[in-house]
Amino acid sequence: MRLVSLVPSLTEAVAVSAPGLLVGVTDWCTHPADLEERGAVRIGGTKNPDVARIVALRPDLVIANEEENRAPDLAALRAAGVEVLVTEVRDLPQALGELHRVLVGALGLARPRWLDDAEGAWDLPEPADPLSAFVPVWRRPWMVLGRDTFAGDLLARLGVRNVYAGHADRYPRVPVEELAAARCDLVVLPDEPYRFTREDGPEAFPGRPSALISGRHLTWYGPSLAEAPAVLTQALRAAH
């Protein structure tokens, strides 16, 4: 099978489970690091893939995500005769189910062990002492996690309550003045999609603890899920 992935986390999931299937990946697909050495061609970004180049690769299937990829690009691929499978991920159970659907259902693979490991890793006790936080995902303008997000669900399972979880929007724009005045225990700053660092982000919220965390472990659904609880918990504890 010839496969093109438009989703970094799905790229990693396929590459780890069935090396050799991927013929095309996005510029944002960074794991594993040797994708091009394995024969995968870069086909542009998740939001601006080169449709003509994808079609020229003659894929049997393109895998995409309803949030990460644009509907017009997927429609153009289908119009060119390419089969497209679109995942939808709003929480951990849905992510685990979609990974099984792609790897086992669509690709016909045996269920990979890492997927069972990931499911087991998130079999966690109820958090004893939850913290409250907001989670910026972009700057200029400031945007935060709102309702029904995969990342928000992971944080809730680790004992972090998102103060914007009840917002009408999934990724609301919030003035920095409102964020700075929010009543919460800490700020959670992932390094993707916006790359927050110790020098870029925490200074906007003086006097408030900031947890700088791995965006891959917070937002990717793939093999990183198996180690995500430990990695994220360590970062959260270090900040509070």
Residue 58 located in a structural domain: yes
Residues 224, 135 share a domain: yes
Residues 140, 82 share a domain: no
Give the CA-trace dihedral at 164, 165, 168, 173, to 10 degrees.
40
φ, ψ dihedrals at 239, nearest 5°:
-90, -25
Total domains present in the chain: 2
pLDDT of residue 129: 86
Residue 142 located in a structural domain: yes
Per-residue pLDDT of the chain (240 residues; tens, 9 = 90+): 999 999 999 999 999 999 899 999 999 999 999 999 999 999 999 999 999 999 999 999 999 999 999 999 999 999 999 999 999 999 999 999 999 999 999 999 999 999 999 999 999 999 888 999 999 999 999 999 999 999 999 999 999 999 999 999 999 999 999 999 999 999 999 999 999 999 999 999 999 999 999 999 999 999 999 999 999 999 999 887
How far apart are alpha carbons 189 and 16 in whole angstroms? Answer: 28
Residues 157, 61 share a domain: no
Residue 178 located in a structural domain: yes
CATH number of the domain that 224 lies in? 3.40.50.1980
Residues 216, 139 share a domain: yes
User: Strands 3-5 and 61-65: what pairing?
Assistant: parallel
pLDDT of residue 21: 97
Distances 11 to 66, 143, 200, 220 between C-alpha atoms, Å = 15, 26, 29, 10
Residue 186's DSSP bridge partners are 133
Cis preceding-peptide flag for 32 (omega within 30 of 0)? yes
pLDDT of residue 92: 98
How far apart are alpha carbons 40 and 26 in whole angstroms? Answer: 9
How far apart are alpha carbons 85 and 106 in whole angstroms? Answer: 8
Domain with 224, as residue range(s), is 131-239
pLDDT of residue 77: 98
Residue 114 located in a structural domain: no
Positions of E strands within 71-221: 84-87, 131-134, 136-138, 143-144, 160-162, 186-190, 210-213
Torsional sign, CA 176, 177, 179, 180: positive
Residue count of the chain, please give it: 240
Residues 65, 154 share a domain: no
Residues 135, 50 share a domain: no
Residue 99 located in a structural domain: no
Residue 72 located in a structural domain: yes
How far apart are alpha carbons 55 and 76 in whole angstroms? Answer: 10
How far apart are alpha carbons 39 and 231 in whole angstroms? Answer: 31
